[in-house]
């Protein structure tokens, strides 16, 4: 479970980029975080994951505060950033082994998981290459495997489907569904409205640092009866 309580953030004094954000992503839920460019999606994700310091309020991951107990909180989630260009000089297998060491995964378990996941995501044959030789999509897959390795209860993904081929995107969506069915949480940001519509249990729309809507797709349709599609609703909400 991810709880965001009264969170605010400013980069410049008196200009809040996130303004008193309150949000609860329950266990067993896939939550889609939507908003136009610069709305505050990535800033929110950066605060949830401990990358950015929170100015006011707090965030809890399975009850662990990201400000008070950062290491415990971080053990409870896996994060896929929006840019997969990292550790380019490492080989894919070295990156995964490094991540497994950071999360203290047993040798036998890590071998099995790396083999299984890399086959599922079809990068098994590329694991011995340096990441700099991977395509954008392959790098994205590698990061996702890195997250899945330690089987965290909470998945936090920043634009996870960007750059993935249709099969990998489908596989990832299926994995997200399976993960939530086991009573776990998936929190992800996206620009693809159809994905949010078909995949998410609940949707949150943020603009200019304020949460404008939180609820299921059905609730949203009821609230915006005049609109025909999610695209219409999104435009209406964010233009207001």
Query: Interface residues with another protein (CB under 8 A)?
Result: 46, 49-53, 67, 70-72, 74-75, 79, 81, 83, 85-87, 89-90, 93-94, 97-98, 100-107, 110-111, 114-115, 124-130, 133
210: helix, strand or coil: strand
Provide the minimum distance between the beta carbon of 168 and another protein in the complex, in angstroms, as a whole number: 19
**160 vs 2, 164, 170, 187, CA distance in Å?**
18, 8, 12, 10
Helix (H) / strand (E) containing 21: strand 15-25
Return all residues near 236 (Cβ < 8 A) that are at least 6 apart.
224, 227
Specify the residue, 94 or 120, whose C-beta has the smaller distance to another protein: 94
Helix (H) / strand (E) containing 9: strand 2-12
d(CA 113, CA 235): 42
Provide the minimum distance between the beta carbon of 193 and another protein in the complex, in angstroms, as a whole number: 27
Specify the residue, 108 or 225, whose C-beta has the smaller distance to another protein: 108
Specify the residue, 39 or 143, whose C-beta has the smaller distance to another protein: 143
Contact 60, 2 (CB under 8 A): yes
Provide the minimum distance between the beta carbon of 20 and another protein in the complex, in angstroms, as a whole number: 21
Which burial class, exposed, middle or buried, applies to 208 when counting CB atoms under 10 A from its CB (0-12, 13-18, 19+)? middle
Specify the residue, 16 or 74, whose C-beta has the smaller distance to another protein: 74
Helix (H) / strand (E) containing 188: strand 185-189
Specify the residue, 124 or 217, whose C-beta has the smaller distance to another protein: 124
Provide the minimum distance between the beta carbon of 63 and another protein in the complex, in angstroms, as a whole number: 15
* Distance spanning both ends of the chain, measured CA to CA: 30
Provide the minimum distance between the beta carbon of 87 and another protein in the complex, in angstroms, as a whole number: 7
Provide the minimum distance between the beta carbon of 219 and another protein in the complex, in angstroms, as a whole number: 32
Provide the minimum distance between the beta carbon of 17 and another protein in the complex, in angstroms, as a whole number: 12
Contact 237, 213 (CB under 8 A): yes
Specify the residue, 137 or 220, whose C-beta has the smaller distance to another protein: 137
Specify the residue, 3 or 197, whose C-beta has the smaller distance to another protein: 3
d(CA 70, CA 156): 15
């Amino acid at each position: 479970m991810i709880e965001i309580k009264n969170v605010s953030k400013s980069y410049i004094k008196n200009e809040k980029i996130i303004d008193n954000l309150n949000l609860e992503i329950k266990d067993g839920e896939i939550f889609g975080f939507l908003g136009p460019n610069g709305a505050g999606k990535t800033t929110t994700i950066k605060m949830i994951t401990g990358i950015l310091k929170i100015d006011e309020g707090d965030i809890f991951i399975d009850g662990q505060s990201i400000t008070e107990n950062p290491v415990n909180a971080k053990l409870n989630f896996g994060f896929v950033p929006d840019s997969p260009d990292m550790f380019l000089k490492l080989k894919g297998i070295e990156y995964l082994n490094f991540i497994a060491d950071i999360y203290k995964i047993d040798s036998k378990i890590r071998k099995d998981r790396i083999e299984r996941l890399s086959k599922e995501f079809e990068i098994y044959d590329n694991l011995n290459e340096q990441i700099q030789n991977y395509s954008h999509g392959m790098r994205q897959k590698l990061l996702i495997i890195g997250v899945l390795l330690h089987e965290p209860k909470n998945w936090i993904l920043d634009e996870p489907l960007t750059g993935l081929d249709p099969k990998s995107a489908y596989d990832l969506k299926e994995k997200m569904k399976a993960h939530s069915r086991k009573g776990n949480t998936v929190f992800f940001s996206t620009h693809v409205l159809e994905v949010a519509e078909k995949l998410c249990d609940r949707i949150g729309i943020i603009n200019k640092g304020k949460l404008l809507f939180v609820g299921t797709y059905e609730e949203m349709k009821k609230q915006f009866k005049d609109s025909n599609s999610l695209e219409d609703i999104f435009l209406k909400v964010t233009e207001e």
